[in-house]
Structure 1
């Protein structure tokens, strides 16, 4: 087993030469290639991280896969006005791209068309009506949102999810600027996680009728407005939903966020998008089970089967990928379950101390197997927001005692042993008395007669 751990570690080191675990091939869909200059800083950031960026117009044909093999590893859709998919693409092919392990970023705008709306619904995300935008008359930017109050300033310390695995708060140097459409992430979908939401004073309204008086209430307002949400599919493919394409533009990257009556500070858009793309393209927060060990206490090799009530030791080796390298994973909530239809044992694993040369997090525990024989599964099912899912299952057999392995005497059965012994002694006494106790007196009385 030790040799397999070393071989797995070597294989991980050979794979980790790329920045992204899924691969560097990235396709970007634009409404028009004339918009390329709008996102120059984004292309620069991606290329600096060794991505092969392919810019594509939605009017030209393109294929996501060929002969059941992905032609791209990541997809960025910056074409909210798209009415039809490019020739060779469809909603089915995009969903299949995710099912095959590809990662997607979908960015919308108030002009979002039905094509991307229907695609987002496939992942339980609903964008607001067309030509609506998020407005805030208290938290708007003095420069970009001065006229319509549609460029809002979002404070990440109060309106961003505290998931360091996705976007660490300390990595975002300032407020995030947003101008775009609201969306709603279904809270009953455990795979969806809102990352950035609107201030309490914000609301979604028709951007084309801002000068007219309102005749009805907004359909969505306050923190119910999701600005950025992410989803991790069950196969660990990742999808990010943004309500604004302008969030990724050079203008918002370099702008100074300035509320009314406040001094301007550098916006946190560039670092926010950098961390978001790192997570979406699996440059970080990716876990891998390198090896699993189990054996009886005092032994080193895994037995062919266990016996009920055996004391056994279970260990699992987990690594985490970030910064282009594998590192030991650290956590205090990794649990082991012994399952036969239902869990019989659930126990939290202890992590062994890490050293400077360690590349694996080792989690272990010692426990007594249940007094139940059958086929059990040693299962580690670890699912946390932002981290790739771990589900390690090891099937083992647990046998009952053989007939010569049961204890000769059971202390709990002493009353039964005493009862049986007293019955035996009583039978002997009765037999002796009955057979020999009154024999002479009976003979004398017979002779006299």
Structure 2
């Protein structure tokens, strides 16, 4: 009885844990373990709203100081955390000697990251941002038009004297990254107090998200307190939209990293600015940004790859030249904790053998296999060239996880008994051969059966021989006489 009771208790506990897991499942496809690194654990009170935002989405949030000896990102090549948020731009070390190469290995292993820079950033953080192709500069942003001024606020950053807490609505690449903004009619007004950066090299892996307004310019951080309107303080190279504020990076393994130049963007003070329902401000911006960074949105999945001859359903291991086939696959996009049909008209298929022989768009249609997918397919004729071909769908779009689908399919030549009896392009040669044969038969017939061809011409003596004979006869007569 005791054994039965223990088993029943374990079964109930297992059932309850399964039910709890079903209802509290995290929306991230990469996992729910989040690490937030701060200069001190006590500073978490400044980011309590941001931390609550993550916990409300069922993330297991751990908070550690940058000097914590237990701070590890990888253990024997495996991720200790699925996502890491760095909110200490002035920190000179992380854990026991974590450097920029360790951060790079973390991302290469599939980890996602939100990295914050700020004024007087450390050389270590500068090396980390440079590793990802970004160049942060210790300059303050100033704007005399788009700045925030609150005389009642206790935070000195909101004072009107410095005018370095700016707000901007210059957003880019929002369709799949800032989904809440792209799907609503709200007016953007994101507040920022930090430093700008530039992108070192143009790369399809790097996408700028937020830039400064056109009226913004930069001054050295040391002169922000003694701010004046002198144009000599402005840096022309980082004025207006040239000053990048937030940049997103997606690695080739689809791991994601976001760099911002202001940890204050995620603080309670900035979350409390402009809470109007029709305004898209810092709280919604940070929510969309972390959803994308933690792979809650913008993740593509391919399924049900199929190909067969027209009029058939069997998928063959090889085809023959000039066969008409149908090639297709199902695509889904992950958004809001569930898979949805992906809608697009730019999905392409390439049939390659070193070079592409065919490149064509796949037509979208409703999937017959799943309600959460869209079928992209195309009917086409294979090239008149045999060999080992690679069917490739290489789909890369900003804000979406990249898809690279390759299928190797041999294309064989026709067998000797499968060629057509007559070729249209060879009709002139067929005609000349028939004419030659007909002419030969006609000539042979006439030579054999025609009387004119059988008669041999009679030989007539030449005049010279007859005259010589006449002379000889006359000579004989003279002698006789």
Same structural fold, with TM-score higher than 0.5 when normalized by the shorter chain: yes
In the alignment, what sits opposite 1:46? 54
Equivalents in 2 of 1:195, 1:64: separation in Å?
Answer: 27
Give the Å deviation of 1:90. Answer: 2.1
Give the Å deviation of 1:106. Answer: 0.7
Equivalents in 2 of 1:370, 1:320: separation in Å?
Answer: 32
In the alignment, what sits opposite 1:24? 32
Q: What CA deviation, in whole Å up to 9, does each residue of 1:107-163 have, x standing for no partner?
A: 1111211111111111111101x3x211111111112141201000112xxx11152
In the alignment, what sits opposite 2:223? 209
Q: Is the CA contact 1:337–1:345 (under 8 Å) kept in the aligned structure 2?
A: yes
What SS does the aligned partner of 1:255 have?
Answer: coil
C-alpha change, 1:358 and 1:309, in structure 2 (3 Å) is same
C-alpha change, 1:445 and 1:73, in structure 2 (3 Å) is same
C-alpha change, 1:379 and 1:266, in structure 2 (3 Å) is closer
In the alignment, what sits opposite 1:154? 168
Mapped pair 1:255 → 2:269: no
Superposition pairs of residues 64-79 of structure 1, within 5 angstroms: 64-79=73-88
C-alpha change, 1:410 and 1:354, in structure 2 (3 Å) is closer
Superposition pairs of residues 179-190 of structure 1, within 5 angstroms: 179-186=193-200, 188-190=202-204
Q: Is the CA contact 1:255–1:266 (under 8 Å) kept in the aligned structure 2?
A: no
Q: Is the CA contact 1:318–1:362 (under 8 Å) kept in the aligned structure 2?
A: yes
Give the Å deviation of 1:164. Answer: 1.8
In the alignment, what sits opposite 1:123? 132
Give the Å deviation of 1:349. Answer: 1.0
Give the Å deviation of 1:361. Answer: 1.4
Mapped pair 1:165 → 2:176: yes
What SS does the aligned partner of 2:118 have?
Answer: coil
C-alpha change, 1:381 and 1:142, in structure 2 (3 Å) is same
C-alpha change, 1:441 and 1:388, in structure 2 (3 Å) is same
In the alignment, what sits opposite 2:147? 140
What SS does the aligned partner of 2:102 have?
Answer: helix
Superposition pairs of residues 230-245 of structure 1, within 5 angstroms: 230-245=248-263
Q: TM-score, normalised by structure 1?
A: 0.89
Equivalents in 1 of 2:76, 2:116: separation in Å?
Answer: 29
What SS does the aligned partner of 1:86 have?
Answer: coil
In the alignment, what sits opposite 1:3? none
What SS does the aligned partner of 1:75 have?
Answer: strand
Q: TM-score, normalised by structure 2?
A: 0.83
What SS does the aligned partner of 2:198 have?
Answer: strand
Equivalents in 2 of 1:250, 1:355: separation in Å?
Answer: 48
Equivalents in 1 of 2:371, 2:88: separation in Å?
Answer: 45
Q: What are the ranges of 5 or more consecutive residues in structure 1 without an aligned counterpart?
A: 1-13, 258-262
Q: Is the CA contact 2:38–2:64 (under 8 Å) kept in the aligned structure 1?
A: yes
Q: Is the CA contact 1:173–1:271 (under 8 Å) kept in the aligned structure 2?
A: no
Give the Å deviation of 1:104. Answer: 0.6
Structure scoring higher RCO (CA < 8 A, sep ≥ 6) equals 1
Give the Å deviation of 1:354. Answer: 6.1
Q: What are the ranges of 5 or more consecutive residues in structure 2 without an aligned counterpart?
A: 1-21, 151-157, 460-481
Equivalents in 1 of 2:27, 2:187: separation in Å?
Answer: 23
C-alpha change, 1:386 and 1:206, in structure 2 (3 Å) is same
Equivalents in 2 of 1:439, 1:328: separation in Å?
Answer: 87
C-alpha change, 1:53 and 1:424, in structure 2 (3 Å) is same
Instruction: Provide the aligned C-alpha RMSD in A.
Output: 2.4
Q: Is the CA contact 2:349–2:391 (under 8 Å) kept in the aligned structure 1?
A: yes
In the alignment, what sits opposite 1:4? none
In the alignment, what sits opposite 2:376? 363
Which entry has the higher C-alpha Rg, 1 or 2?
2
Q: Is the CA contact 1:182–1:226 (under 8 Å) kept in the aligned structure 2?
A: yes
Equivalents in 1 of 2:280, 2:218: separation in Å?
Answer: 23
In the alignment, what sits opposite 2:190? 176
Q: Is the CA contact 2:320–2:411 (under 8 Å) kept in the aligned structure 1?
A: yes
Equivalents in 2 of 1:439, 1:133: separation in Å?
Answer: 113
C-alpha change, 1:423 and 1:357, in structure 2 (3 Å) is closer
C-alpha change, 1:142 and 1:378, in structure 2 (3 Å) is same
In the alignment, what sits opposite 1:345? 358
Count of residue pairs the alignment pairs up: 423
C-alpha change, 1:254 and 1:372, in structure 2 (3 Å) is same
Equivalents in 2 of 1:439, 1:325: separation in Å?
Answer: 96
Mapped pair 1:229 → 2:247: yes
